[in-house]
Amino acid sequence: MAFGTLFSAMLKEEWRMHSTMFGSRGFLLFPVVLTVMAAVASLAVPVFLAVMPPGTVSTAPHIFYLIAGISVGSFGLLGREVMNRRFGQASLLAYSSRSLPISERAIIAAFILKDCLYYFVFWVLPAVAGIAVGSLVVPEIPPVAAPLLLVSLGLSFFMGIALAFFLSTVYAWSPRALATILGLLVIVIVLFVAGGWSLAEVFFPLAFYAAPSLMPAALSVVLILLLAGLSIAFVNIDFPESDRRYPCRLPALSRTFGMTSAPHFVAKDFIDLRRSDGGMGKIVFSFLFPVGIIWLMLTILQYFIPGLAPGIIFAVLLGVFTSTIYNWLTEYDLFTSYAFLPVTTGQVIRAKLESYLILNIIPVVFLLVAVPFFGDAFLLIPALAAFAGLSLYAVGVTVYLCGLSPNVMLYDARTFLLYVAAIAPFVLLLIFLSIPSPWYAAAGILLLPAGVLLIQKAGERHGSFEERSF
């Protein structure tokens, strides 16, 4: 099979996987939504420039797209487990080297190129187009910013993908070598911070945006090609896996969760989380990034709206982000895994939500630490009330709109807009309610009935048709 044919087939395969779930039109509208959101967000650039240095404003999107690239690329390492469990019935071209006359190097090269092109069109290009639109009405955004960002953000994204593939290749040969490289990276970062170096001096895509010239762009391309080339040259699909054996914990965990409606299913969720790559720790670490975003938003809000109680705002925003725990719980299986059992979709959703409520102890611990840290310890009661109401309401909206497939359905433009429209007004309402008195934010507890109603309706809605699968 020619390389061009393989590459074209992988593009079609990626498109088909997404469009099968919610239709070609819904998937096509997703970059349009991103463009609109980026255009609206660019209107806030003067606000950002008023509260932080310009260098920090330009650094944030580059770091975001570097992390996004790592996230896309790391699917090759961490995604095996998800792919095998969630798309078990699908036969992907990435796994075809043992059944078709295609070399592993050709497959990984086409896979990297496909990821770069596909997600550049769906993630990077729409954001830059939105910024270009915003530059027409925001004088703080120079006209040259959009074309420069198209290059620098694209390079950041490609570098993230190449780095993830390189690290996964190292892991495939030697987990110890990977640990050594990661340790060296940590040392370099510590020296970099201690030395007071600017990120724009060492991160070539950002250096290109800060001072456009051929050299940083060329160095970025060389580094990307070097990482990708090493990944292709030393590709190894035989990951070193030890024979994993686990003690049977289902009966004990089922007894522990005996107070739930389906203790065996709740126990299965916890076993899945524990035995998957990253274990329970990935949920804890997945909160660090949202907490960083909340801290940034708090800084901005406090500057423009004096009198806000940071502990309350943290609780409100954390309540929304907490609903992502439900995404983790539905990551590893589809309803088809339960189809041979005498259970309904609604019963499976209810069990997932009971697991979600138990795992809410993690964000509650974050909240109990953060609120006193902000000097608002006396506001713990309204903070917990606002968090509880929004957490249940946000997950209720997620379940109603997405059922057991939030990680996929939120890529549907219509579903994503409905999700934002259903949650954003209540977030803003609670924030403004807390201005005259932080205790008014306790009104967030009134969202609990709405959340319960949405969850009940979700069970009926998603039980009335067959869940989509591959």
**Which tokens sit at 16?**
């088909």
Read off the pLDDT band of 86 (50, 70, 90).
very low
pLDDT (0 to 100) of residue 83: 47
pLDDT mean across residues, the chain: 80
193 pLDDT band (50/70/90 cuts)? confident
- Is the per-residue pLDDT at 469 higher than 60? no
Mean pLDDT of 114-123: 86
Per-residue burial over 356-395, b if 16 or more Cβ lie within 10 Å, else e, is bebbbebbbebbeebbeebebeebeebbbbbbbbbbbbbb
pLDDT digits (tens, 9 = 90+) for 264-280: 888 888 888 777 655 56
Q: Give Cα separations from 304 to 219, 293, 308 (angstroms).
A: 40, 17, 10
Query: Which band of pLDDT confidence, cut at 50, 70 and 90, is reported for residue 323?
Result: confident
- Give me the mean pLDDT over the 407-427 stretch: 81
Q: Are the CB atoms for 459 and 351 separated by under 8 Å?
A: no
Cα–Cα distance for residue pair 88/81, rounded to 1 Å: 10
Percent pLDDT > 90 in the chain is 14
CA distance 31 to 82: 25
Q: What is the pLDDT of residue 403?
A: 82
Has residue 336 got a pLDDT over 70?
Answer: no
Give the model's confidence band at 457: pLDDT under 50 very low, under 70 low, under 90 confident, else very high. Answer: confident
pLDDT of residue 82: 47
Question: Is residue 217 very low, low, confident or very high in pLDDT (cuts 50, 70, 90)?
Answer: very high
Q: Is residue 220 helix, strand or coil?
A: helix
At 93 the pLDDT is 63
pLDDT at 88: 47
Distances (CA, A) of 318 to 94, 111, 181, 362: 37, 36, 34, 11
Residue 243 vs residue 376, higher pLDDT: 376
Choice between 201 and 66, residue whose per-residue pLDDT is larger:
66
- If you average pLDDT over residues 358-387, what whole number do you get? 88
pLDDT band, residue 156 (cuts 50/70/90): very high
Q: What is the pTM of this model?
A: 0.68
Q: In the structure, what pLDDT confidence band is assigned to residue 292 with cuts at 50, 70 and 90?
A: low
Instruction: Give the mean pLDDT of 162-167.
Output: 86
Average pLDDT over residues 208-215: 90
pLDDT score for 268: 84
- Percent of the chain exceeding pLDDT 70 equals 79
Q: Which is more confidently placed, 91 or 25?
A: 25
- pLDDT classification of 114: cutoffs 50, 70, 90: confident
Least confident of 44-53, 69-78, 439-448: 69-78
Contact 199, 72 (CB under 8 A): no
Top-confidence residue, 15 or 228: 228
pLDDT at 69 over 50: yes
Report how far residue 160's alpha carbon sits from residue 116's, in angstroms, rounded to the nearest whole number.
10
Q: Which helix (H) or strand (E) holds 197?
A: none
Q: What is the pLDDT at residue 285?
A: 61
For helices 75-86 and 54-73, the axis angle rounded to 10 degrees is 50
